[in-house]
Amino acid sequence: MGQRFDRSCTLVALGGGVIGDMTGFAAACFQRGVKFIQMPTTLLSQVDSSVGGKTGVNHSLGKNMIGAFHQPECVVIDTETLNTLEDRQLSAGLAEVIKYGLIQDRAFFEWLEENIERLMRREPEALSYAIERSCQDKAEIVAKDEKEAGLRALFNLGHTFGHAIESGMGYGNWLHGEGVSAGTMQAVYMSQLLGDLTSEEVARVQALFERVNLPIKPPSVADMDNEAFLDLMAGDKKVQAGTIRLVLLKSIGQAYVTGDYSAELLEKTLTDWR
């Protein structure tokens, strides 16, 4: 505003997911909406947050609770920027890549099982393929459900648990992808308790996360007890009429959204998977 920008301006988000979310939210709000361009520089932002039009900022009571749906004019991805990332940041991004295989793309999950070390070595061809495949998987669902009225909620696999971890432990102490990894394993374990996943499938998912050095267990009870966990989950955006709706798996490559589970089962998941 100090520079007298008008509605013809275009904002550019050059950076990771936080930069993209903040810039997109600013673009959505400034003069009731101006154009913006996403230029994501982290793996997580390239495969997830820059694609689909979600923007927002965190609040002490919940992650991404203040925001808007505002589509970028375009997304420009340069995989060379990934060479600037610390290993921990690269691993965090791979949590979201793995998620796409789990929710709707079993063949991609199997490709990841065969090629995950290539991604960890940052081989350009493997990275380009994984990023393009992830974006294709996301775009396919966003085209059908831009504002998360139903199908798009599948992208939240592990996120209700994961967001609680991020909030409970203080933003920045656990990276988003680390929370998603541990949260996904909680959802996977709960899916096994419901009789949908076999122990072998659980082991496959766990092994893939471990191969990219991601946490598979949430914080200990001493750091975050079940009551605190449930309280944070109850503030999630996906809660409907007081019910915490979770994304669970029928099988690897087939996710669904449900609130049809017992409180005892959720409590058992939080207790057992530590």
Q: What is the pLDDT of residue 63?
A: 74
Cα separation, 40 vs 74, whole angstroms: 11
70 catalytic per annotation: no
Domains and CATH numbers, the chain: 10-81 (3.40.50.1970), 86-272 (1.20.1090.10)
Active site residue 140: no
Based on the residue annotation, tell me whether 148 is a catalytic residue of this protein: yes
Annotated catalytic, 96?
yes
Q: Catalytic pick from 63, 99, 156, 166?
A: 156
Exactly one of 63, 70, 133, 176 is catalytic; name it.
Answer: 176
Residue that the structure tokens 């965090």 belong to: 92
Distance CA 145, CA 140 (A): 9
218 Cβ contact partners less than 8 Å away, ≥ 6 residues apart: 161, 165, 182, 183, 186, 224, 229, 273, 274
Whether 152 is a known active-site residue: answer yes
- Record the pTM: 0.90
Taking CA atoms, 140 is separated from 133, 237, 241, 267, in Å, by 11, 22, 29, 34
Among 82, 9, 15, which residue's Cα sits nearest to residue 49? 15
Round to the nearest angstrom and report the end-to-end CA distance of the chain: 49
pLDDT for residue 90:
97
Alpha-carbon span 163 to 233, nearest angstrom: 8
Catalytic residue among 63, 70, 138, 238: 138
Distance CA 5, CA 27 (A): 12
Q: Beta strand 10-15 with 35-40: parallel, antiparallel or unpaired?
A: parallel
- Distance in angstroms (rounded) separating the CA atoms of residues 249 and 261: 13
Known active-site residue 268: no
Structure tokens belonging to residue 111:
């490709």
From 63, 64, 70, 96, the catalytic residue = 96
Among residues 133, 159, 237, 245, the one annotated as catalytic is 159
Distances (CA, A) of 160 to 61, 126, 167, 194, 246: 13, 30, 11, 18, 7
Active site residue 163: yes
Cα distance between residue 12 and residue 20, in whole Å: 9
Mean pLDDT per 10-residue segment, the chain (274 residues)? 91 95 96 96 94 86 84 95 96 98 98 98 97 95 86 94 93 93 98 97 98 97 94 82 92 96 96 96
| 201 among known catalytic residues | no
